[in-house]
Every structure is written in structure tokens, then in C-alpha cells.
């Protein structure tokens, strides 16, 4: 049975659409209350941190693990809640066969990046490698 | 007729015997001389080929990272540069100098070896805007920089027993002009003689005879080095003989270049309080804030001139004598063709160019003391004083400055000269101890109260106790009773704890009891199971001091140092992640080879969601609880903290944290007498004075999906309207959200 397209129906559809879009947007970006950490702000890209992360990854590729750790600790000092810096530190420790440290850094990375699916899956992939045997 | 030949025989036998004795005697003398030379040679081996000098270990602060948007004023950066002995100039700077360019600052950073990386000297212009760095530009390439690391300040040194300080120069680091000047002034035959200069000795003898007293020395540089390195300064014939032979051995065994380098490193130039400054490199740093390779002619002339009499020609105590001596050296340089006429006359006209005041020796003794204690598991005191180690720490000189100013200002509120203090500031996210004082006189090098004073902590125990209580049945909204309680102790005695105000406040939420630091509800809950959990949690962070747990522990009768309290609060502020507090980040040897690193540790010891509830209650303390003063003083900021007061107001504590910094303040007396200050009226005020100077960002609670936030009425723990004025917004585990509703009253 065909539905008559009335102005009232159009209005309802429009309102529902607006509401659903608003709801969808509000799920991942639910504004924090005044006591909570604003993830979007604390994870903002900071250029020196990105530069240090890149230098660390280059050092890691060159198997200069200590140098990579140095870069990442500097990055963490500048922006301690950057979950990716902790992840890269975990990666460095994995490559350097320091597995306990690797696991500890994954845990810390997850605590800052629970909203970041890419990060969580990167940590999930890394975790079994840091549990040899 | 036998007697004749007999006599002859006897005579020749005696002659043979005499010859024999002479030979033996000569042999003995030669052997003794050989042994003597061997002994001298052995002395030379011991010092010249081994560790010739005891090099003090240097302790470095953190390297200041500079990047756009960093909260740093120009004045703060200048303070840091001055601590690093950078010299402000008006002309184009050289390494170790800076200048003001309008509102910006141009710094020529010295080269620095960070252990894993060597950083070249670099000229960088830094722009500021509204208390922040607004841009960084490499002055040579005009390129914008995202990041630049300033070489760290030396915050102190561990000196050897002889209290000598020096920086060593390698053979190729000694400037030629310095060598030429030294030779021209002290020993013109240096490259010709073999340790002794008979002509110089003759000339000196004649001059001394003529004057009737010792006016001229005939010692070569090599002799002076032998005397300084191996012998005492006493004027005896034996010492002179030893000196002469040692000088010859040195000349035979080592090159002229090695000898002059040793001289440049050994020579005594300056006394700074108890520390003797040896060597031109360190003297140059101290006097002119310049490395020895950047000295100008007049500086060099003063340094070389001071060798003859460091005390007599001290430019601080006898500036006129020092100028005369410098000018004499300049004259010799000119006469010897080391200077042109123009350069000579401009050097004569130049001022001495020394710093106004020599830098203090170890101005941050409490921090240095902690570094030493943390190093002691790996290095003995003797090693620290000799090996020239480089210890890289987390010390933040800017934070320390604010701590010292804030503490002085804070203590000025109380007219109690015997009131003592200890303060620690740490970055709780990575465990860095950044600033510390252990005495009300911040540069006092004695008893370090921040580490050593074990004092009861009072209500500072409550956050960990609250953590121990929260769980299956208790939330922040749970109802508790503030009513009197009597507990029979193991010795049969009755313990009847009271609230600080000696009042009973009836029924309320656990949150409300915590915020106002009421004792009785916590004792009540503690004796019904919380005590064991508290002991277990203290043991996790290695702060359980006794094998036997006792109820009064619930009210913080356990004694701790400010350092231990900081470790406990580090875990609380950091969502339950334990990171050992440390001062040291790495140690390298004198040649910059890394000996040790302290990696960033992180151990999840406590449940994050539960710790977040504790943090929220601690924010309540600063909003309208015992530390409500903070909400009045910093209305735009959110802070978390807890006050602590002990019996008869003997100890006043406050531990609180912002977005990065954890600061713990203790006030009390060494004789444990009452100070009549509570945590709120004493330590909290000092804490605020320090943090106001420092500036800080609000503490924010991490988001945790297992928690949901609701408005409750703190009086009874019931859910209430958001618009209700007395409501507080609290986090709850999703399966423990209160169901009871409450009116807004």
C-alpha cells in the first residue's frame, strides 16, 4: 500500500534524520563532564612529539633501540598522555627482547587510547609477540 | 826471608780489598740511585699514566626542550641560561653566549654530548608571546625549528677529598695562543731544555742574590708540573732534587705537547670558597663564562698572569693588582711578537671581563643528596669523587626556583623560626623528581628532611584507605555513620578515636566523610575489613612499615618521609600505575660512554576505575572540603589533594596534584613540638604559594568506560537532580549506581 507523502511525514522524517545524525555524532565524541579528561584535546597532535616519534621509528628501523627509547621518552615528557608514544615504546622493547617492559607499555598505551581503534588493534597485535612461549 | 813478600802481599791484598770496597760502594750507590730513579718513575707512572687527576662527577639537570607553544617566558629562559653560565652580550654571540633582540632571544647553544647523541653548537633565535614560545628559528639557515634541546645546566658536582675541581682538556684542545703565552711568561726555553734550564737557574740565582730575597724562580714548566703533581710545596733541598730528577724523567718519557697539556690541566688558578679551581678550562668557565677556546687576548693574559700568585692576583679581591699583572703579561706577549700593536693596545684598554660573582658551589644540596643516595647502589662515594661521571637527572631548575621562592613566601606567613619544611615536586606520569628542598633554608646542605624525617602522616593515609574500602559493597555514595567508637587493642587498652573538631556529624555519604576528613567513619569501616586491605595495598608499594597491623594505622599513625608520601600519591594520581620516583635518568663515564640508564617503568598495581573514584573524592577535598581554600585561590582550576594533621598539631601535611605535577609539603619541628598548624592552615598555604608561582593546568580525570557519572546528594548519597545546588557529580561502577533518590536538601 503506497504511503502518502504528506508535509507532516516529511517533517517527521527530517526531524528523525537530524536526531539520528546528532546521536551518531555524539557517541564517539561524547563531551566529557568538567572533571574528565578531554581526549580530543589531550591527544591533539603536537609537532615536536610527531617529530620525535618519527626519529624514534627511524632509529628503530636502524636497530638503534636505545636511541629510539631516548626519542620516545622525550616525546612522552612533552606529551605524556600520547598513547602512540607508549605504543612505539612497547614496539621498541619488543624488538629489543625486553618483553616485560613491552607488556607494561602496551597496558599504559591502552589506558590513554581506549577510544582509538587503530591503536587498540595495533596493541592487540603486538601483545602476543611480547608473550613468548 | 819471607817477611818482605808477605808485607807486599798484605799490602796488595789491602789495596785489592779497598778497590773491592770502592767498587761495592759505587755499585751500592749506583743501585741506590737507580732505585731512587725507579721510585720517582714509579710515582710518575702512578699518576701520569693512570687517572692523573680526580675529576669530580657532574650532575646535570634535565635538558630543556624548546618548541613552539611551550609555556616559557623569556625571563625564565634567561634564568636557565644564567645558571648554565651563558654570558649576555650585545654583539653577535659565540657558543655560550646570548643576546636580546627586541622581544626575542638569540642563544648560541654550546655543543653537548648527550650520550646517545652529540649535538653541535647552534645559534637559535627564540620568539615569545604571552608567556609562551611562539617560534624558533635557526639563525644561520633561517629555517623554522619544531624542536630544539638546550644543553642541560650543571646543578652540582661531587668533589674529591682534596676539594679540587677541574675540566680536562685534551692535547688538541689547548689553544695555541695559550701555549705561546705560557711559554713566553713562564719558561721561554721550554722547547729547548730537557726538564731543567741551567741558564734560568743562574739568572734567578743572580737576581735573588742582588735583591737579597727570592724575587725570581728558575723552575721550568716541567719542574713546576712535577712539583704540582707529585711533591709538596715546601722549599727544601730534597724536594728541589726530587723535582729536578722528576722533570728530567718526564721529559725523557713524554712529549712536550703532553707535558704542556698536563700543566694546563693541573695548574691551580683560583679558590672558590672551599673548592680549589685547577686548570685553565674550568677557571675560564668560572671567571669569564667562556670555554677556553673562545677567550680573548686580555682574558688569556689574566689567566696566565694569575698562575704566579692565584691569591695575590685574584681579580675579585685585588682587581688593581690583577690588572697590572695582566698588563705585564700583555707587554711580554707584545715584546715576544705574539700580539700586534693594535691588538696590544686594545687588550690593555679592555676591562677584566670577569663575572660579577662566582657561581655558588652546589646550590641545590637536598636534590644532590637524593641523587647521591640513588647512585650509591652502583657507585661508591670515592668513585663519584674521582671518575668524572656525568649524571643526567630530572631536576628542573625553573621549578626549583619557584619551589624555593614559594616556600620562603609561605613560611613567612607563620612567625615560627623553628618551623621546618620539606617539599618534593614530581611528575607523577613518568616518576621524575623535578624539585626538592629538605630545610627551610633551601640551600642548607645538612639534614635532608624530605628523605630522612619520618613523621606520622595523619589523614594523608585516607586516599589509599578509601581505595581499600571501595569495592563490592561500598561506593562514594554509600551511607556511613560518624559516631563514636571504642576499640580494644591487642594490649587490652581501649582506643577511642575522635574527629579533629571533636564533634560527631551523624549519617552522611562516604564521599562527604572523606571530603571533610572525618575520622570515625573511616575507623568504623576500617576495623570491619578495611585495615587488612590497607596493609596489603601499602605493601604493594613497599610502604608497609610494620609486620603487625594496628587500628590506629587507619588514621595515619604510620610514619613516612615526604619522599615516601610522594611515592604513595604518585600511584594515586597516575590511575594506579606505579612508576618508581627517580632523580636519575642516565649515567655516562668521562668519555660519554653510557654506564647506566634508568628506564621509564610503569606497573599497573591498582584498579584504574576504583582509583578514579578516589581522585574524584580528592577533588572534592579541594572544592569544598578541608582544602577548600584552593577553590577560593584558584577558582578556574581543578586540583586534587588531601590534608594531613597529626596529634596536637605536630605535623602539617598537604599532598596535591594538577595535570602533571604532584607536590607534597610537610611542616613541623625537629623536636617534634606542636606547631599549632593543621594541614589546612599550614602546609596547604605553602603548597598554594609554590603552585601559584609555578603555574599549572587543571587535573583531569581519565575517561573510563566502566564508570558512569551521576549527581548525588552528599548528605545521604541519594541520586538527585543536576540542577540541585548541593549535588555533586560522582563516578560509579556501572553495576553499582545508587538507586535511592534524594530531595535537593
pLDDT digits (tens, 9 = 90+) for B683-708: 999 999 999 999 999 999 998 889 99
Contacts of A35 in chain B (CB under 8 A): 616, 619, 638, 700-701, 729
Asked if residue B341 has pLDDT above 90, the reply is: yes
Query: Which of A33, A37, A48 lies closest to B146 in CB terms?
Result: A48
Confidence bin at B660 (pLDDT 50/70/90): very high
Indicate whether B247 pLDDT > 80: yes
List, as one string, the DSSP characters of B581-649.
Answer: -BSEEEEE-TT--EEEE-----EE-S-HHHHHHHHHHHHHHHHHSTTTHHHHHSTT---EEEEEE-GGG
Instruction: Tell me which residue in B146, B599, B616 faces A35 most closely, judged by beta carbons.
Output: B616
| pLDDT of res. A15 | 67
Neighbours of B146 (CB within 10 A): 14
C-alpha distances in Å from residue B699, one per residue of A41, B360, B564, B612, B618: 14, 36, 22, 12, 11
Decide if pLDDT at B654 tops 90: yes
Helices (H), chain A: 7-26, 39-42, 47-61, 65-78, 83-95, 99-112, 117-129
> Using the beta-carbon criterion (under 8 Å), do B146 and A108 form an inter-chain contact?
no
A35: nearest CB among B429, B432, B701: B701
Chain B nearest-CA distance from A73, in A, is 7
The β-bridge partners of B422 are: B666
pLDDT score at B198? 82
* Strand locations in B486-544 (E): 487-488, 494-495, 506-509
**Residue B612 grid coordinates:** 578514579
ipTM over 0.85: no
| pLDDT confidence of residue A56 | 97
**Minimum-distance CB partner of B702 among A67, A69, A111:** A111
Percent of chain A with pLDDT over 70: 74
Can you give the pLDDT at residue B510? 97
Nearest alpha-carbon partner for B222 in B199, B256, B180: B256
Task: Say yes or no for a CB contact (<8 Å) between A111 and B577.
Answer: yes
Measured in residues, chain A has a length of: 133
Rg over alpha carbons for chain A, rounded to the nearest Å, is 22
3-state helix, strand, coil in chain B (%, to 5): 40, 20, 40
Task: Please give the grid coordinates belonging to residue B334.
Answer: 707584545
Nearest-angstrom CA–CA distance, B283 and B264: 11
| 8-state DSSP, B143 | E
Closest CA of chain A from B625, distance in Å: 17
- Report the residue from B65, B608, B705 with minimal CB separation from A78: B65
Least confidently predicted of B232-236, B300-304, B489-493, B713-717: B232-236
Has residue B336 got a pLDDT over 80? Answer: yes
Nearest 10 degrees: Cα torsion B718, B720, B724, B728: 60
CA–CA gap between residue B151 and residue B57 (Å, rounded): 17
User: Would you call B604 and A39 a contact, using CB atoms and an 8 Å cutoff?
Assistant: no
The four Cα atoms B11, B16, B18, B21 give a dihedral, to 10 degrees, of -160
Mean per-residue pLDDT over chain B, rounded: 91
Q: Could you tell me if A81 lies within 8 Å of chain B, comparing CB atoms?
A: yes
- CB–CB of B703 and A101 under 8 A? no
* B264: nearest Cα among B132, B193, B170, B382: B170
Please tell me if residue A107 touches chain B, with a CB cutoff of 8 Å.
Answer: yes
Q: Give pLDDT, residue A28.
A: 44
% of chain B residues with pLDDT over 70: 98
- Per residue in B389-432, pLDDT (tens digit) is 999 999 999 999 999 999 999 999 999 999 999 999 999 999 99
- Distance CA(B286)–CA(B88), nearest Å, equals 15
Cβ under 8 Å to B: A residues 1-20 = none
Question: What separation in angstroms does the CA of A36 have from each of B28, B68, B618, B698, B731?
Answer: 91, 26, 14, 10, 10
pLDDT at A125: 97
Distance (Å) from the alpha carbon of A35 to chain B's nearest alpha carbon: 6
Chain B hits for A40, CB-CB cut-off 8 Å, are none
pLDDT at site B197: 82
Whether A48 sits inside 8 A of B594 (CB atoms) is no
Check residue B23 and report its DSSP letter.
H
Q: Is it the case that residue A41 has pLDDT exceeding 70?
A: no
What's the gap between Cα B262 and its chain centre?
Answer: 29
Q: Cell for B207?
A: 737576581
> B618: nearest CA in chain A?
A35
Kindly determine whether residue B600 and residue A70, on different chains, have CB atoms separated by under 8 Å. no
Contact B732, B473 (CB under 8 A): no
CB-CB contact of B111 with B103 (8 Å) = no
Q: What is the pLDDT of residue B67?
A: 95
Give the pLDDT mean for B550-558. Answer: 91
pLDDT of B695 reads 93
Q: Would you say the pTM of this structure is higher than 0.95?
A: no
B445: Cβ contacts below 8 Å, ≥ 6 apart:
B362, B365, B369
Quote the pLDDT of residue B439.
Answer: 94
* Nearest of B626, B619, B573, B581 to residue B600 by alpha carbon: B581
Q: Is the pLDDT of residue B447 over 80?
A: yes
- Residue B432's CB is within 10 A of a number of other CB atoms, namely 24
Q: Give the three-state DSSP class for B179.
A: helix
Q: What band does B289 get if pLDDT is binned at 50, 70 and 90?
A: confident
Q: Alpha carbon B132 to chain centroid distance?
A: 26
B313 pLDDT above the threshold of 90: yes
Residue by residue, DSSP assigns B275-292 as EEEESHHHHHHHHHSS-G
Q: Nearest CA to CA, how far is B147 from chain A (Å)? A: 6
Q: What is the pLDDT of residues B248-278, one digit of tens each?
A: 988 988 899 989 999 998 899 998 888 889 9
> Is any Cβ of chain B less than 8 angstroms from the Cβ of A54?
no
B491-B494-B495 Cα angle (round to 5): 105
The secondary element (H helix, E strand) that includes residue B665 is strand B661-668
Residue of A52, A70, A77 lying closest to B430 (CB–CB)? A77
Chain A nearest C-alpha distance from B67 (Å): 7
What does the alpha-carbon distance between residue B9 and residue B665 come to, in Å, rounded to a whole number? 101
pLDDT 10s digits, B187-235 = 888 998 888 888 878 887 888 788 777 666 778 989 888 888 877 767 7
Q: Do B603 and A104 touch (CB under 8 A)?
A: yes
Q: Hey, what's the cell of A47?
A: 609537532
How confident is the model at residue B445, as a pLDDT? 78
CB spacing of B602 vs A80 below 8 angstroms: no
C-alpha distance from A118 to closest chain B C-alpha (Å): 18
Helix B237-253 and helix B221-230, axial crossing angle in degrees, nearest 10: 110
In chain B, which residues have their Cβ closer than 8 Å to the Cβ of A89?
600
CB B123 within 8 A of CB B132: no
The half-sphere exposure of B332 on its side-chain side, counting CA atoms within 13 A, is 19
Taking an 8 Å cut-off on Cβ atoms, the answer to whether A33 and B700 are in contact is: no
The C-alpha atoms of residue B533 and residue B596 are separated, in whole angstroms, by 37
A52 or B378: whose pLDDT is higher? Answer: A52
- Contacts for A27-33 with beta carbons within 8 Å, 24 or more apart? A28/A115, A32/B700, A32/B703, A33/B709, A33/B729
Q: Are strands B479-482 and B506-509 parallel, antiparallel or unpaired?
A: antiparallel
Q: Beta strands B603-604 and B577-578: pairing type?
A: antiparallel
Helix (H, G, I), strand (E, B) or coil at B119: strand
- What CA–CA distance (Å, rounded) separates A51 from B557? 49
What is the number of other CB atoms lying within 10 angstroms of the CB of residue A82? 25
Task: Read off the pLDDT band of A17 (50, 70, 90).
Answer: low
- The percent of residues above 90 in pLDDT, for chain B, comes to 67
Question: Number of CB pairs < 8 Å for A and B?
Answer: 88
At residue B36, the pLDDT reads 86
A35 touches chain B (CB under 8 A): yes
- Nearest neighbour of B638 by CB, restricted to A35, A104, A111: A35
In this prediction, residue A26 has a pLDDT band, given cuts at 50, 70 and 90, of very low
Distance CA B525, CA B511 (A): 13
Quickly tell me which residue has 575520622 as its cell.
B519
Between B44 and B400, whose confidence is greater? B400
pLDDT at A25: 47
* Sign, Cα dihedral of B568, B573, B578, B580: negative
CA A47 to chain centre: 16
Residue A48 cell numbers, joined: 615536536
Determine the residue among B61, B64, B147 to mutate to test chain A binding: the one whose Cβ has the most chain A Cβ atoms within 10 Å.
B147
Catalytic residue positions of B, numbered: 186, 459
Which sign does the torsion angle of CA B297, B302, B306, B308 carry?
positive
Q: What is the mean pLDDT of residues B162-174?
A: 85
pLDDT at B303: 95
| Size (chain B), residues | 745
Residue of A nearest to B709 (CA): A33
Amino acid at each position: 500500500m503506497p504511503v502518502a507523502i504528506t508535509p507532516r511525514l516529511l517533517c517527521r522524517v527530517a526531524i528523525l534524520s537530524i536526531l539520528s545524525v546528532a546521536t551518531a555524532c555524539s557517541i564517539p565524541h561524547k563531551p566529557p563532564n568538567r572533571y574528565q579528561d578531554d581526549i580530543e584535546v589531550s591527544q591533539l597532535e603536537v609537532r615536536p612529539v610527531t617529530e620525535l616519534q618519527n626519529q624514534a621509528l627511524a632509529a628503530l628501523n636502524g636497530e638503534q633501540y636505545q636511541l629510539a627509547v631516548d626519542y620516545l621518552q622525550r616525546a612522552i615528557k612533552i606529551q605524556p598522555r600520547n598513547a602512540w608514544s607508549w605504543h612505539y615504546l612497547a614496539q621498541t622493547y619488543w624488538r629489543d627482547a625486553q618483553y616485560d617492559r613491552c607488556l607494561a607499555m602496551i597496558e599504559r598505551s591502552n589506558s590513554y587510547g581506549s577510544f582509538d581503534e587503530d591503536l587498540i588493534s595495533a596493541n592487540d597485535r603486538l601483545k602476543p609477540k611480547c608473550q613468548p612461549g | 826471608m819471607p817477611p818482605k813478600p808477605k808485607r807486599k802481599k798484605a799490602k796488595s791484598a789491602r789495596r785489592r780489598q779497598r778497590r773491592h770496597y770502592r767498587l761495592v760502594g759505587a755499585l751500592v750507590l749506583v743501585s741506590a740511585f737507580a732505585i731512587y730513579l725507579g721510585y720517582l718513575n714509579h710515582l710518575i707512572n702512578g699518576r701520569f699514566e693512570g687517572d692523573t687527576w680526580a675529576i669530580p662527577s657532574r650532575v646535570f639537570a634535565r635538558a630543556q626542550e624548546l618548541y613552539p607553544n611551550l609555556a616559557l617566558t623569556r625571563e625564565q629562559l634567561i634564568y636557565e641560561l644564567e645558571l648554565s653560565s651563558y654570558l649576555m652580550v650585545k654583539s653577535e654571540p659565540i657558543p655560550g653566549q646570548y643576546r636580546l633582540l627586541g622581544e626575542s632571544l638569540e642563544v648560541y647553544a654550546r655543543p653537548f654530548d648527550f650520550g646517545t647523541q652529540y649535538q653541535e653548537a647552534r645559534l637559535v633565535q627564540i620568539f615569545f608571546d604571552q608567556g609562551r614560545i611562539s617560534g624558533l628559528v635557526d639563525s644561520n639557515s633561517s629555517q623554522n625549528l619544531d624542536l630544539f634541546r638546550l644543553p642541560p645546566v650543571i646543578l652540582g658536582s661531587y668533589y674529591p677529598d682534596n676539594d679540587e675541581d677541574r675540566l680536562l682538556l685534551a692535547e688538541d684542545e689547548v689553544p695555541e695562543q695559550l701555549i705561546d703565552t705560557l711559554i713566553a711568561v713562564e719558561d721561554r726555553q721550554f722547547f729547548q731544555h730537557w726538564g731543567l734550564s741551567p741558564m734560568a737557574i743562574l739568572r734567578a740565582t743572580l737576581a735573588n742574590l742582588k735583591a737579597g730575597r727570592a724575587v725570581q724562580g728558575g723552575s721550568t714548566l716541567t719542574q713546576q708540573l712535577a712539583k704540582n703533581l707529585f711533591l709538596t710545596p715546601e722549599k727544601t733541598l730534597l724536594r728541589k732534587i726530587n723535582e729536578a730528577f722528576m722533570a728530567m724523567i718526564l721529559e725523557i718519557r713524554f712529549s712536550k705537547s703532553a707535558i704542556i697539556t698536563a700543566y694546563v690541566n693541573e695548574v691551580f688558578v683560583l679558590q672558590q670558597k672551599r673548592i680549589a679551581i685547577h686548570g685553565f678550562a674550568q677557571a675560564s668557565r668560572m671567571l669569564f663564562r667562556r670555554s677556553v677556546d673562545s677567550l680573548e687576548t686580555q682574558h688569556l693574559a689574566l689567566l696566565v698572569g694569575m698562575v704566579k700568585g692565584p691569591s695575590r692576583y685574584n681579580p675579585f679581591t685585588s682587581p688593581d693588582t690583577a690588572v697590572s699583572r695582566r698588563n705585564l703579561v700583555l707587554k711580554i706577549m707584545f715584546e715576544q711578537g705574539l700580539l700586534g700593536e693594535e691588538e696590544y693596545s686594545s687588550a690593555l684598554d679592555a676591562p677584566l671581563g670577569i663575572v660579577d660573582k662566582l657561581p655558588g658551589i652546589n646550590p641545590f644540596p637536598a636534590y644532590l643528596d637524593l641523587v647521591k643516595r640513588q647512585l650509591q647502589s652502583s657507585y661508591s662515594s670515592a668513585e663519584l669523587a674521582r671518575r668524572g661521571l656525568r649524571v643526567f637527572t630530572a631536576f628542573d631548575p625553573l621549578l626549583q626556583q619557584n619551589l624555593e621562592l614559594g616556600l620562603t613566601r609561605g613560611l613567612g606567613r607563620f612567625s615560627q623560626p623553628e618551623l621546618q619544611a620539606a617539599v618534593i615536586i614530581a611528575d607523577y606520569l613518568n616518576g621524575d623528581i623535578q624539585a626538592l628542598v629538605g630545610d627551610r633554608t633551601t640551600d642548607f646542605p645538612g639534614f635532608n628532611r624530605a628523605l630522612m624525617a619520618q613523621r606520622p602522616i595523619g589523614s594523608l593515609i585516607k586516599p589509599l584507605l578509601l581505595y581499600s574500602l571501595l569495592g563490592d559493597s561500598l561506593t562514594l555514595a554509600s551511607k556511613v555513620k560518624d559516631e563514636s567508637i571504642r576499640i580494644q587493642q591487642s594490649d587490652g587498652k581501649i582506643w577511642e578515636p575522635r574527629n579533629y573538631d571533636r564533634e560527631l556529624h551523624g549519617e552522611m555519604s562516604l564521599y562527604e566523610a572523606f571530603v571533610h576528613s572525618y575520622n570515625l567513619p573511616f575507623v568504623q569501616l576500617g576495623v570491619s575489613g578495611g585495615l587488612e586491605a590497607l596493609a596489603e595495598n601499602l605493601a604493594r608499594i613497599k610502604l608497609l612499615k610494620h609486620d603487625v597491623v594496628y587500628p590506629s594505622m587507619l588514621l595515619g599513625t604510620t610514619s613516612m618521609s615526604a619522599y615516601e608520601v610522594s611515592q604513595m600519591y604518585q600511584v594515586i594520581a597516575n590511575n594506579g600505575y606505579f612508576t618508581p620516583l627517580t632523580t636519575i635518568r642516565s649515567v655516562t663515564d668521562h668519555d660519554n660512554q653510557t654506564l647506566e640508564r634508568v628506564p621509564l617503568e610503569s606497573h599497573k598495581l591498582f584498579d584504574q576505575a576504583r582509583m578514579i573514584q578516589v581522585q574524584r573524592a580528592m577533588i572534592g577535598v579541594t572544592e569544598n572540603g578541608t582544602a577548600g581554600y584552593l577553590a577560593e585561590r584558584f577558582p578556574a582550576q581543578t586540583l586534587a589533594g588531601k590534608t594531613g594533621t597529626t596529634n596536637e598539631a605536630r605535623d602539617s601535611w598537604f599532598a596535591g596534584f594538577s595535570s602533571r605535577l604532584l607536590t607534597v609539603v610537610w611542616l613541623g619541628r625537629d623536636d617534634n613540638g606542636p606547631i599549632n598548624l593543621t594541614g589546612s592552615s599550614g602546609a596547604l598555604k605553602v603548597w598554594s604559594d609554590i603552585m601559584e608561582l609555578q603555574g599549572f593546568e587543571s587535573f583531569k580525570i581519565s575517561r573510563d568506560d566502566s564508570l558512569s557519572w551521576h549527581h548525588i546528594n552528599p548528605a545521604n548519597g541519594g541520586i538527585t537532580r543536576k540542577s540541585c545546588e548541593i549535588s555533586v557529580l560522582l563516578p560509579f561502577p556501572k553495576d553499582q549506581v545508587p538507586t535511592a533518590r534524594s530531595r535537593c536538601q
